[in-house]
Structure 1
């Protein structure tokens, strides 16, 4: 393909994806009562939007040229990962481990995660690298065309093709109206890519939201070697429920009959979460393997990993269990005690250690240093627990705050939720003795550019976060910005002033993947990895 035509195809793929309804538009349906089954019929129960999800996705899968049966009959085998926190990290860790065994039976490895931070190519990873532009264009184009042709056949069978007197036009057939919403379409594109790539036999698939009704849960049990439920928390309550137990029910929907499912064993004071997971495993005929904290603490994790943070050792441990099970199911021989039922985490071979160290995921505990010497720490954490963990991670990297010769800047936003409790959770995690972790705190909206002349942006959320910061720690200098670019320029000014005094500058950008994406887009051309 010529360079210009390849570029055109990629731009076409991005334009097509941009036409699809976003996940946010879908999840907003759950923020209000579900519509009645029939307009005006008050005696009918409300429509369960969740219950429609899998039948609808199976129809889209069929239109794209696949069925659960065809996936089961293929040589492709999947690790399926759900959870509230850590599911992206665990997915990346498993894929990185499997990549070390590509010549020993695992084959080439695919990885499907969400959301993306800078480029949609991050969502579909082949052999450790984001899918290339030309391959993304190819697979998006092929799925788009298959769905268009399926809609044409169905319209023709129903006598609905445009004949000058109404019906469905060619433009409508080729447009977004005959396609699923964004996440479902990308799931189809990822499955198509994995099935089409020569020699690709292993794939790690991360759920989008939930598990039971998630678009990825069309994977048949026969094609799944291991399931994972990572740490649970309160998120997407409209779709999943307002208790951790209800959310656990949804996440454990990835459990499959006869397939081992791995999770971190939670203490008894965490409510009925473990009971729910155990009940669901029995209900679905899965084998639940609970990874105990005591085992993880004895092992201690792997030093020098790209995915940083004290909490990552728990993600690593679950990833090791799932990757090991996948390799065994693929017929890979694991040597020594690690290949026996008596194995422990300390028995893992060098390939596993290398895989754990090398795994990375954009916007998750990512550290970059730009040309001006500013050290950027970016993480898209957006729940209480995950922000507390990110706070502990950043505090651990600042060294001895009392004797530190650095300025420490927080860049924060959470546009969709109350920022006060989230910010307090972050600050609680980052607290070191009686010293303030942050010398400066900047609160911004997620838009990259400043508003156009005459445009006004609501900064009430940012002002509330600023007031929360001032109430918690009045010694921290605070500011509010209407866009990320001026906020980054403000940080660069702070860093320049610090350099005059011989001080370095460390930044933590967190609270939203949208914020992190904008930050990375701005600084990416000026960083050293």
Structure 2
């Protein structure tokens, strides 16, 4: 069959590279370390599309990892750096996951690739892999898994377009992540390492920190936000490999384009990374002595990062969107949501196997503390609670860009996660009317309930995939634009 080389066909081929739920969960629990051949395989894929590792140094990379806030940090850093380079410069940003469209992950000067540009470079990468099918080992697939393929696509796109700087967000972990094949970044940084990830992944904070520190490189500035136990691990590793280590100072309070009190920590790392980059020859040898340079204030205020503490009014409904999905991030979400508004409805989901009572409890406790109420009192201020899957439509279909093989089909057919969430909610709120707690099979079901009841302020949380699906179904795509 003749290829159309359209965006839709690119997404269809890309989706064939998704791993199933079990494989993704295994990698997540290993902190990205499951495949020791991961980096050698990634380097071989790079060779097969026509590049050497040293070619990636031309991207002038700011490399960012962490367990919380690495995406927001990347967005802040990109905006600051772009505002300090000549107007003709191109700044690339590679992040994950996407909300509504895969091409959101690869941006030039804040704008997602167009469908045409995405498809053009996708098929160049795909066909190079097709034309050189010999893999590193007999068990290595001809086409890499989803995230690796997108990373290769980002590298190829940025090199083809001649970017002047690249902000590169790690996917999972650090040492073994597919982004970690750039030999010589300009600067590197680690955002907050959340303690709740240790329980989820079954690793100690020291093990997680050592893995994250794997993005530090010989002679390259190695930055971190203030950490607890993890800080010493990061510093020790940086010293071992002779990377100049710095804990960034927390910037004074200032207006930030991404809402939430916790964003000041992320902005502080972004400021440190931007200073480090701009002080390099690639950044124009620009030096700044202040903790928060005056010229950084405006870009920080102008930074946008969709789906994170985002308020989107639409008709009679105000959507409060936050993809928070850990106990710590849901605490921040609760503080933001109940200071920003008074939610009357909640749409929530989380990945299977997560501690439903802890996640919902963190959200409610934070909101209750903000309002001076108990969790039960705060829960009673909601009159509709909906637990849904991340399936996009009532037909059971996904939008192409939102297709996910990561959902366990057994869990999905029984709505097991959603029923567990319902049980947890009613245990946390024993006086809450059970008939007002809905378990539904798709995001469209959830949005239909909201539209039928004409709710005023709706909080959507627990999953970035859920937030993206709500944005798609509720027609909020215009809120995706960055800057």
Find the aligned partners of 1:281 and 1:195 in 2 and give their Cα distance: 29
Match of 1:195 among 137, 155, 159: 159
Superposed displacement of residue 324, structure 1? 1.3
The alpha carbon displacement at 1:451 in A equals: 5.8
TM-score computed with the length of structure 2 as normaliser:
0.85
2:8 to 6, 11, 23: 11
Q: CA separation of 1:239/1:12 partners in 2, compared to 1, >3 Å: closer, same or farther?
A: farther
- Alignment-derived partner of residue 418 in structure 1: 355
- Taking the aligned partners of 1:253 and 1:321, their CA distance within structure 2 comes to 19
**Hey, what does 2:212 align to over in structure 1?**
251
Residue in 2 aligned with 1:509? 460
Distance 1:521 1:227 in 2: 34
CA-based RMSD: 2.9
Q: Following the alignment from structure 2 to structure 1, what is the Cα–Cα distance between the partners of residues 29 and 458?
A: 38
Correspondence 1:443 to 2:387: yes
Partner residue of 2:122?
Answer: 140
- Give the secondary structure class of the aligned counterpart of 1:194: helix
Which residue of 259, 264, 270 maps to 1:308?
259
Contact 1:484 1:515 in 2 (8 A): yes
How far 1:102 moved relative to its partner?
3.2
CA distance in 2, matches of 1:239, 1:489: 33
**How far apart are 1:93 and its partner, in Å?**
0.8
Q: In 2, distance between residues paired with 1:108 and 1:129?
A: 11
Q: Kindly tell me the number of residue pairs found equivalent between the two proteins.
A: 449
Match of 1:427 in 2: 364
User: Relative to structure 1, is the Cα distance of residues 507 and 125 closer, same or farther in structure 2, using a 3 angstrom cutoff?
Assistant: same
* SS at structure 2 position matched to 1:216: coil
Give me the TM-score of the superposition, normalised by structure 1: 0.78
1:280 alignment partner, one of 220, 237, 255: 237
Query: Could you say if the C-alpha distance between residues 235 and 425 of structure 1 is closer, same or farther in structure 2, counting changes exceeding 3 Å?
Result: closer
* Secondary structure at 2:319 match in 1: strand
Deviation at 1:306, TM superposition (A): 3.0
Alignment partners' CA distance in 2, 1:238 and 1:54: 26
Distance 1:132 1:235, change over 3 A: farther
* Structure 1 residues 13 and 88, CA gap change in structure 2 (3 angstroms): same
- Distance in 2 (CA, whole Å) between partners of 1:25 and 1:78 is 32
2-structure distance, mates of 1:99, 1:231? 24
Encode CA deviations 1:185-238: one digit per residue, 9 max, x unaligned: 11000001110104x1100000000000000000112xx111011111257769
User: Which secondary structure does the structure 2 equivalent of 1:514 belong to?
Assistant: helix
Do the aligned partners of 2:337 and 2:343 also contact (CA within 8 Å) in 1? no
What does residue 407 of structure 2 align with? none
- In structure 2, relative to structure 1, the CA distance for the partners of 1:226 and 1:284 (3 Å cut) is same
- Kept in 2, the 8 Å contact 1:17–1:182? The answer is yes
**Residues 1:205 and 1:31: Cα distance change in structure 2 (over 3 Å):** closer
Is contact 2:7-2:116 (8 Å) kept?
A: yes
| Alignment match of 1:183 (pick from 147, 151, 169) | 147
Cα deviation digits, residues 89-125 of structure 1 (max 9, x gap): 11111111122123179x2100000111111011000
In 2, are the aligned partners of 1:91 and 1:204 still within 8 Å (CA)? yes
Is residue 319 of structure 2 the alignment partner of residue 356 of structure 1?
no
Secondary structure at 2:320 match in 1:
strand
Find the partner of 1:60 among 45, 53, 71.
45
Match of 2:19 among 18, 22, 26: 22
| Residues 185, 357 of structure 1: alpha-carbon distance in 2 compared, 3 angstrom cutoff | same
Per the alignment, residue 389 of structure 1 pairs with 332
Q: Map 1:212-223; keep pairs closer than 5 Å.
A: 212-221=175-184
Deviations 1:470-529 (A, max 9, x none): 332335743322222121121223326xxxxxxxx1111010122112111111258779
CA contact (8 A) 1:87 1:206 kept: yes
Cα distance between partner residues in 1 of 2:199 and 2:44:
25
Which one of 320, 326, 337 corresponds to residue 271 of structure 2? Answer: 320
The 3-state SS of whatever aligns with 2:387 is strand
Q: Secondary structure at the match of 1:66?
A: coil
Measure the CA separation in 2 of the matches of 1:396 and 1:470.
24
Which is further off, 80-89 or 23-32?
23-32
Aligned to 1:368: 312
Deviation at 1:23, TM superposition (A): 7.5
Distance 1:23 1:315 in 2: 32
Structure 1 Cα separation of the partners of residues 414 and 183 of structure 2 = 46
- Compute the displacement of 1:449 (Å): 2.5
Aligned equivalents of 1:486 and 1:214: distance in 2?
36
Q: 1:210 aligns with which of 173, 184, 189?
A: 173
Query: Take 2:44 and 2:245, find their aligned partners in 1: how far apart are those partners?
Result: 30
Separation in 1 of the partners of 2:308 and 2:477?
A: 19
Cα distance in 2 between the residues matched to 1:203 and 1:444: 36
| Structure-2 separation of matches of 1:8 and 1:278 | 47
Query: Secondary structure at the residue paired with 1:436?
Result: helix
Q: Secondary structure at the match of 2:100?
A: coil
Matched, 1:262 2:199: no
User: Which runs of structure 2 are paired with 1:456-467 in the superposition (5 Å)?
Assistant: 457-467=413-423
- For the 8 Å contact 2:29–2:201, the answer to whether it is kept is no
Q: Name the SS of the counterpart of 2:313 in structure 1.
A: strand
Say whether the 8 Å CA contact 2:309–2:333 is kept in structure 1: yes
Measured in 1, the distance between the counterparts of 2:41 and 2:310 equals 37
Matched, 1:344 2:306: no
C-alpha distance in 1, partners of 2:29/2:221? 37
